[in-house]
Amino acid sequence: MKVRFWGVRGSVASPMTNAELAVKIETALQLAVKAGLKAETEIPAFMKSLPCYVRETVGGNTACVEIQAGDKLLILDGGTGIRMLGLDMIRRDYGGKPIEAHILLTHTHWDHISGLPFFVPGFNPKNKLTIYGAFSNLEARIRNQQKFEYFPVPLPAAFHFVQLKENSVFQIGDVQIETLPLNHPGGSHSYRMTHQNKSIVYATDSEYKDLSNHSLRPFIRFFQDADMLIFDAQFTLLENIEKEDWGHSNVFCGIDMAIEAGVKKLMLIHHDPAYNDQKLYKIFQDASEYLEIYAPDRNLEICLASEGLTLTV
Ligand SMILES: [Zn+2]
Ligand SMILES: [Zn+2]
């Protein structure tokens, strides 16, 4: 399966500010002076040597992850990231056939659906875009977002709906999909996708307040031996304690659960909109050190999800 991250922010879209951009440029120039850069030809190698938080940005779009599994295109959540995915999709070669995609929604908080009205493949009625959700009133919730009071255009005919039940197991072609309810205000649902013996779990918008074995067991079982776990690590540990019942988690909780479940790769997502790149890379660095100290012999890899990051499972 090929995974591409189009939106990795939680709560609300958060574009980089001019002040943040200025700090990046200034830092890069200071490092260039220190490195004694003399010719333009030296720039590409120098760029590669820059710290991640200077060279890159994790991006400001909200939740959207694309998974290509065989000939099936799965899209996890329709946050603002889905707009760029839609523009990319209409440039792809489908051999003259209409576009078919399966959009799996975790829940309908705005950061997970507000990109849907701007998803360009929806404007062609020949395309077939099926939206799935295990929460109640799926179709009404999505249609209501495009009521005249909120958006000038109603939901186009290309969209179809599949209302799931809690704890569903179903197939999309040869991809098996399972769902599990998570701990989140108003509810959220995790998806586990299995294709050719590889599994990816998308588990965002969830809080694990009760860390007892009994309470965590259903989640550990759901994450068991996943090749990739895409995990809500919105807060620092301290902020997670301060923001109890906000329905989100932290990276240390993700690492502990991933180790317990034998996960191979842990992707941190749903970054807090108030955290800039420097803070996010620091959180990632601390998490890497924690993993190194706590479980040096474990086969777990952790990765900070950023816009445009593409991985194969
Ligand atoms: Zn969210
Ligand atoms: Zn939410």
Residue 8 Cα, ligand 1 centroid: separation in angstroms?
A: 10
Residue 26 Cα, ligand 1 centroid: separation in angstroms?
A: 33
Residue 55 Cα, ligand 1 centroid: separation in angstroms?
A: 27
Structure tokens at 266: 């842990």
CA distances (Å), 87 to each of 53, 96, 119, 129, 140, in order?
Answer: 27, 17, 8, 15, 26
Residue 229 Cα, ligand 2 centroid: separation in angstroms?
A: 18
Q: Is 312 exposed, middle or buried (0-12, 13-18, 19+ CB in 10 A)?
A: exposed
| Domain chopping of the chain, boundaries | 2-16+57-312
Residue 206 Cα, ligand 1 centroid: separation in angstroms?
A: 9
Residue 62 Cα, ligand 2 centroid: separation in angstroms?
A: 11
Q: Is 299 exposed, middle or buried (0-12, 13-18, 19+ CB in 10 A)?
A: exposed
The C-alpha angle with vertex 250 and arms to 197 and 286, in degrees rounded to 5, equals 95
Residue 40 Cα, ligand 1 centroid: separation in angstroms?
A: 43
| Fold of the 2-16+57-312 domain | Metallo-beta-lactamase; Chain A (3.60.15)
Please tell me the predicted confidence (pLDDT) of residue 240.
86
- d(CA 283, CA 293) in angstroms, rounded, equals 15
- d(CA 192, CA 178) in angstroms, rounded, equals 5
Structure tokens at 13: 């879209």
Checking DSSP bridges between strand 175-182 and strand 72-76, what pairing results, if any?
A: unpaired
Residue 265 Cα, ligand 2 centroid: separation in angstroms?
A: 23
Chunk the chain into consecutive blocks of 10 residues (it has 313) and report each block's average pLDDT, rounded to whole numbers.
98 96 97 96 96 95 98 98 98 95 98 98 98 98 97 97 97 98 97 98 95 95 98 89 90 95 97 95 94 87 97 98
